[in-house]
Amino acid sequence: MKRILYATDLDAHSDRALHRAMMLSIKHDAELLIFHVTDPRAAKTTVRVSELEEQIQKSQLPDIPATKRGALRHQIKVVSGDPIPELVAAVDSFHPDLVIMGPSRELTPMAVFYGTTADKAVARISSPILVVKNRPYAQYDKSLVAFDHTLGSRAALELAAGLAPDAELLIASVTGADGDCSKELNNINDMVSGHVREILKGVPDGKLQDIEPQVTIRSGNAGDELLNCAAQIKPDLLAFGRSQKTGLKSLVPGSTANLLLGHAACDVLIAGRIE
């Protein structure tokens, strides 16, 4: 991971995502672009830059010694205009390996129907996206990956394991098989476990081959079962892939991705779009 783009709206909770972005940038020695779009009628861009610099200086970074804070390589870019098109343009220009943002606070009927800012960003940006919902007190300790053998879920697995290689890795797979048939579920568990280990061992340089994932098989509706699994396991990171659909069709209300993004209590990691 060489480049991280953190998109901020400078709301009251934006420091959570900023802290996580800084922690990951230092951990992975990645360049950090802090990006903000301001309303043309609002404060001058120079004022926003000063606010962001002040946030950085005041940031409390758990697990990061003061001696390592100087390793942070960052730049700040503030532009004026429409947030989503400007963010898309910044991603196309900077080519980040990961885009980080906070959860949307929009709860209006229009947002519910057409999608929140976070929904639209996921739909328009092909890069992996990390939505930070909680204040970070440490590096990620427990990652849960939704796995269904697709290229999207494979990308989510590799991304989550690479982003938090020291975290406990748990795999959840939801099947339409009979939940009362233990033999069938055990066979599915063996198949998923084998596929996951094969993927991890195949990552270049053997960086992930020593990770031992734990697999759980669920039966039922994918979105509901994944949320139930997350509620029981309590991960601090939930990762999943996305379909090859483009635009808002990939996050229509009621879709699994939309459900996980909106209702998961932990941070959400969405793999990049598979072209």
| Predicted pLDDT at 232 | 95
Stretch 74-90: mean pLDDT, rounded? Answer: 88
Higher local confidence (pLDDT), 254 or 161: 161
| pLDDT band, very low/low/confident/very high, at 59 (cuts 50, 70, 90) | low
Stretch 86-95: mean pLDDT, rounded? Answer: 94
Does residue 72 surpass a pLDDT of 50?
A: yes
Angle between helices 45-58 and 14-28 (to 10 degrees): 70
- What digits encode the pLDDT tens for the residues 116-137? 666 677 778 889 999 999 999 8
15-29, 78-92, 98-112: the lowest-pLDDT one: 98-112
- Give CA–CA dist 71/30, Å, rounded: 10
Query: How far is the CA of 93 from the CAs of 3, 7, 33, 207, 242, in angstroms?
Result: 12, 14, 11, 29, 23
- What digits encode the pLDDT tens for the residues 179-210? 566 777 888 899 999 999 999 998 887 778 88
- Give CA–CA dist 236/267, Å, rounded: 6
| Predicted pLDDT at 185 | 81
| Predicted pLDDT at 47 | 61
Stretch 81-93: mean pLDDT, rounded? Answer: 91
Contact present, 136 and 24 (Cβ < 8 Å): no
Does residue 115 surpass a pLDDT of 70?
A: no
Higher local confidence (pLDDT), 236 or 120: 236
| Predicted pLDDT at 207 | 77
User: Structure tokens of 2?
Assistant: 């060489």
Does residue 95 surpass a pLDDT of 90?
A: yes
Of 34, 99, 25, 33, the closest CA to residue 68 belongs to 25
Q: Are strands 31-38 and 3-8 parallel, antiparallel or unpaired?
A: parallel
**The model's pTM:** 0.85
- Give CA–CA dist 48/50, Å, rounded: 5
- Give CA–CA dist 18/15, Å, rounded: 5
Does residue 270 surpass a pLDDT of 70?
A: yes
Stretch 63-89: mean pLDDT, rounded? Answer: 81
| Angle value at C-alpha 20, between 231 and 101, nearest 5 degrees | 80
Does residue 225 surpass a pLDDT of 60?
A: yes
Higher local confidence (pLDDT), 227 or 253: 227
Query: Which residues are 214's β-sheet partners?
Result: 170
| Predicted pLDDT at 82 | 86
Written as one letter, the residue type at 80 is S
Stretch 231-260: mean pLDDT, rounded? Answer: 72
